[in-house]
Every structure is written in structure tokens, then in C-alpha cells.
């Protein structure tokens, strides 16, 4: 089963709290939000990096490069919509 980013962030929050030896009531929402933002930003940066690599690979074939960039952007838009829906 696929785990949502929010569920992963919550699990990581519990781990951080355990490592630091703090109670579960110590800023759980803030920690979870920060972890979720970090994961989201990392995913978005990787999408941009993939688009750059694809663009370089098809450097001379502008039509293919544009097509790949459009597909990456489409996937990126869907990713952002899905992440927003998780909130």
C-alpha cells in the first residue's frame, strides 16, 4: 500500500521525538509540517532536475525536448495537486 507523504512525515516526527527524548505532545504538528515541506520540496527539485536532464539529452531536437518538458510539468502539476489534497 502506498503511504502518503503526510503519513511518512508523521512517522518521521515520532522518530525525531524518540531520538530527542521528547514527549509526543512536543510540537508534533510543526515538526510534521516541516518534514512534509522538506519532502515535497525535494520531490519538486528532483522533477526539475529530471526536466533539465531530459532537455540536455534532447538538446538538438527541440520538439522532443519541449514534449518531455511538458510531460514533466504535467506530472509536476499532478503531484502538487495530490500533495495539496493530502492536507
Q: State the pTM of this model.
A: 0.58
pLDDT of residue 5: 74
Q: For residue range 37-65, what is the model confidence (pLDDT) as tens digits? A: 888 888 888 878 887 777 777 777 778 87
CB of 40 closer than 8 Å to CB of 5:
yes
- The angle that helices 5-20 and 62-86 make with each other, rounded to 10 degrees, is 60
Tell me how far CA of residue 39 lies from CA of 13, 19, 61, in angstroms: 13, 20, 33
Which residues 6+ apart lie within 8 Å of 57 measured at CB? Answer: 65
Amino acid at each position: 500500500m502506498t503511504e502518503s507523504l503526510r503519513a511518512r512525515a508523521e512517522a518521521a516526527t515520532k522518530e525525531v521525538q524518540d531520538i530527542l527524548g521528547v514527549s509526543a505532545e512536543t510540537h508534533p504538528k510543526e515538526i510534521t509540517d516541516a518534514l512534509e515541506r522538506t519532502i515535497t520540496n525535494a520531490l519538486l527539485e528532483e522533477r526539475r532536475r529530471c526536466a533539465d536532464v531530459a532537455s540536455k539529452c534532447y538538446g538538438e531536437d527541440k520538439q522532443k525536448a519541449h514534449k518531455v518538458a511538458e510531460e514533466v510539468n504535467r506530472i509536476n502539476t499532478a503531484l502538487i495537486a495530490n500533495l495539496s489534497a493530502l492536507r
